[in-house]
Amino acid sequence: MSLQSLGLTYEQERVYRYLLRTRTTDPDTAEAELGLPGLRLVLEELRALGVVDAGLVPLPPAAAVDLLVRLRVERTSRELARLDSAFDVVRELAEEARQGRPVELVERIQDKAQVNHRIHTMLGRFETMNAKVLARTEASDESARRRQRQLAEGLVSRTLVSTAALDQSDQLAYARHWHALGDVHRVMSEPFGRMLIVDRRLAFVRLDPGRPESDTLQIAQPGIVAALVDLFEQLWVRATDLDRLDLSATEAAVLRTLSEHGKDESAARELNISLRKYRAHVAALMTRLGAATRFQAALRAKERGWL
């Protein structure tokens, strides 16, 4: 079986097999022996895939095949998602047939429940961009589970929230929870309008950005959606990654007691909070630090200069 069936080109497979056989670390030697003038470019492609490292050491065959299979599955999943979006056209055509007129490319929705229903049923198949003031919003358990499944299956999701909202501990914990699951969060202090962009083809915005209870516009007009995507990208570049935020006063106190006390009970008493709340703060800190144990959390906190 050829590795080309797993996504490698003919030249990439030749180079990978050559490196496996010879363990050569000199590109010039490899280029001469293979008679492949563009070998350096092929090597860069293999490095980008992760099949070869910077020292020209190839992945072992089992690991390489596993990697290529996973990459192929991811590409296939994205392609299936795009093909699945073709059914949106079916729904649009059916709606035109039912109404006897073209479906509106910009539609005003007054009912908040209807807005939420549309958002939850149309939520992105391969990408979402979300700009909102608060990190935590009303959502059913089923909606949250569905969102988590989508992220696990490769959905690219970015969420922009207001810095001021994260002064509330529950908002910050919620943002970090989803950030850890793959819904990448950034924060910014300057004001911005709420928007949700689904698969770069559909957008939801407030009719009046200054009024939280104003009607919502559902926009399918390609030019407007493209302009909103560009606006979101500009905001995203200026925003700060959630992992780079400094510790809050509460987090700093919890981290200090974590390093000074052997028992949670004594640490919670010093901070004058319940044991349950103290442990919730510790768990949130460990998630933020990407630590599996408290010892690892302390080490990583020291690396960041937090201790």
Instruction: Calculate mean pLDDT across residues 227-254.
Output: 82
Q: For residue 245, is pLDDT > 80? A: no
**Per-residue pLDDT at 115:** 77
If one counts every other C-beta atom within 10 angstroms of the C-beta of residue 60, the result is: 10
Count H helices, E strands: the chain? 13, 8
pLDDT-based confidence at 242, cuts 50/70/90? Answer: confident
CA dihedral of residues 205, 207, 213, 219 (deg, nearest 10): -40
Band (pLDDT 50/70/90 cuts) for residue 233 is very high
Half-sphere exposure of 27 (CA within 13 A, CB side): 13
- Say what percent of the chain tops pLDDT 90: 9
Q: What is the mean pLDDT of residues 237-265?
A: 78
- Taken as a whole, the chain contains a residue count of 307
pLDDT at 167: 67
Structural contact between residues 237 and 158, judged by C-beta atoms closer than 8 angstroms: no
Average model confidence (pLDDT) across the chain: 80
Structure confidence at residue 165 (pLDDT)? 75
Environment class of 307 (CB within 10 Å of its CB; exposed 0-12, middle 13-18, buried 19+): middle
C-alpha 54/C-alpha 45 separation (Å) is 11
> Could you report the per-residue pLDDT of 54-79, keeping only the tens digit for each?
888 898 988 888 888 888 887 776 66
In the predicted structure, residue 85 carries a pLDDT above the cut 70: no
Do 91 and 55 meet the contact criterion of CB atoms below 8 Å apart?
A: no
Q: Is 201 helix (H, G, I), strand (E, B) or coil?
A: coil
Cβ atoms of 143 and 175 within 8 Å: the answer is no
pLDDT-derived band at 197 (thresholds 50, 70, 90) equals very high
Report the pLDDT value the prediction gives residue 305, as an integer from 0 to 100. 66
Average pLDDT for 151-158: 84
Three-state DSSP string of 106-166: EEEECCHHHHHHHHHHHCCCCEEEEEECCCCCCCCHHHHHHHHHHHHCCCEEEEEEECHHH
**Of 276 and 96, more confident:** 276
pLDDT band at 91 (very low <50, low <70, confident <90, very high): low
Predicted confidence at residue 114, as pLDDT, reads: 78
Residue 140: predicted pLDDT: 62
Gap between the Cα atoms of 250 and 239, Å rounded: 23
Give the pTM: 0.53
